[in-house]
Structure 1
Amino acid sequence: MRECILIERERIAKRVAELGEEITRAMGAAGIADFDFLWLAEGAFVFAADLARKIDMPMRIMSLKVSSYGDALESGGSPEYSQDFSVHAGRHVLLVDDVLDSGLTARAIMGEIEKSGAKSARLCVLFEKLSSARTPGIEADFTGFKIGKEFIFGYGLDCARKFRNLPDVHKIISEDGRG
């Protein structure tokens, strides 16, 4: 496997701090005093931990174990998860994910949050893949970086369940030398 660094840790840290400020401002402007910060395990764990510390308002932090990739390099379609979403009834929810790709996972989870009786649901992603076939109606409210279709790993994201511990985000380089 050939790879290279796509985004260095310093650039990630700067953007995560900016996202925290954006979320704090947007929630405050909407009259939201506190909310549920629901992050998707496992890929978003580093991003979620860093982001939560940059948001300057009260929140309940929760995780949801979900998977749509497994060992593959592309989303496998329907996400697998189990969660009692009723804990979000009457609450504002910020769903935090690592990558918005096809949008199937985000659509499924956002749908469950809305069905639970949550007051509102917003989506924050570290990466939005621009060249993906996106599920209609799924857009992130807060986005860290917009990227192409390359497979990325590091900073919590895995490649075949490895490399989550890398501090920078890497991309796989194809045999023809393109990302």
Structure 2
Amino acid sequence: MKIKINQKDFEPIIDYNQIKKRIRLIGIQLNVAYENQHPVFVGVLNGCFMFMADLMKQIHIACEISFVKLSSYDGTERREQVNELIGLDANLEGREVVIIEDIVDSGNSLKHTLDLVNAQKPASVAVCTLLLKPYALKHTFDNIAYVGFEIANDFVVGYGLDYHGMGRTLPDIYREIKGKP
């Protein structure tokens, strides 16, 4: 089913059942990887809220949760500059850290988050992202360890991702339809 948000048309690409299955598998991987540790999961708001909430329901190990809030989009366009709206409030020194992202596309916000986290000298840092756009990356990362889905360089909404604040609460993920459908 196609949808319209602020005069843009979108079509579904990943339904909620696929998302739930993938999150269950990522949760198992994280439980095994951090079984005898006490990691801190750092969510990057606003986009991660649905993914992180569902993911944390699958985590059955001792852990802590923290958040940062960044802004790197202007509508559908990625900006080079990343604005930090809410800073990191947890002490990460010597800790195992897992950064939770909704999407990694250019990598600008992930680079900013990694700089914030690494400044505190954690024991390790892994990145867990629901969506990865490998062909949009402008940076190289060696710690993206958990990926839900690799997608094309399309603009997407739903399941936490928005367009001008709209579409975040959609359970499925949709991509923008370019040109005439």
TM-score (norm 2): 0.89
Q: Do the aligned residues in 2 keep the contact of 1:68 with 1:79 (CA within 8 Å)? A: yes
Higher helix residue share: 1
Higher strand residue share: 2
The unaligned stretches of length 5 or more in structure 1 are: none
Aligned to 2:51: 47
Query: Closer, same or farther in 2 for the Cα pair 1:169/1:86, shift >3 Å?
Result: closer
RMSD of equivalent CA atoms: 1.6
Find runs of 4+ consecutive structure 1 residues off by over 2 angstroms: 136-139
Q: Deviation at 1:138?
A: 5.1
Q: Does 1:142 align with 2:146?
A: yes
Q: Deviation at 1:134?
A: 2.7
Secondary structure of 1:16's aligned partner: helix
User: Whole-Å Cα distance in 1 between the matches of residues 20 and 98 of structure 2?
Assistant: 20
Superposed CA offset, 1:71-101 (max 9, x none): x213211211142466111211110001111
Aligned to 1:78: 81
Aligned to 2:11: 4
Q: Do the aligned residues in 2 keep the contact of 1:85 with 1:116 (CA within 8 Å)? A: no
TM-score (norm 1): 0.90
User: Whole-Å Cα distance in 2 between the matches of residues 84 and 157 of structure 1?
Assistant: 21
Which residues in structure 2 correspond to 1:1-179 (within 5 Å)? 1-28=8-35, 32-70=36-74, 72-81=75-84, 82-84=86-88, 87-137=91-141, 139-177=143-181
Count how many residue pairs are aligned between Structure 1 and Structure 2. 173
Superposed CA offset, 1:57-77 (max 9, x none): 01111111111014x213211
User: Whole-Å Cα distance in 2 between the matches of residues 79 and 131 of structure 1?
Assistant: 20
Q: Do the aligned residues in 1 keep the contact of 2:66 with 2:89 (CA within 8 Å)? A: no
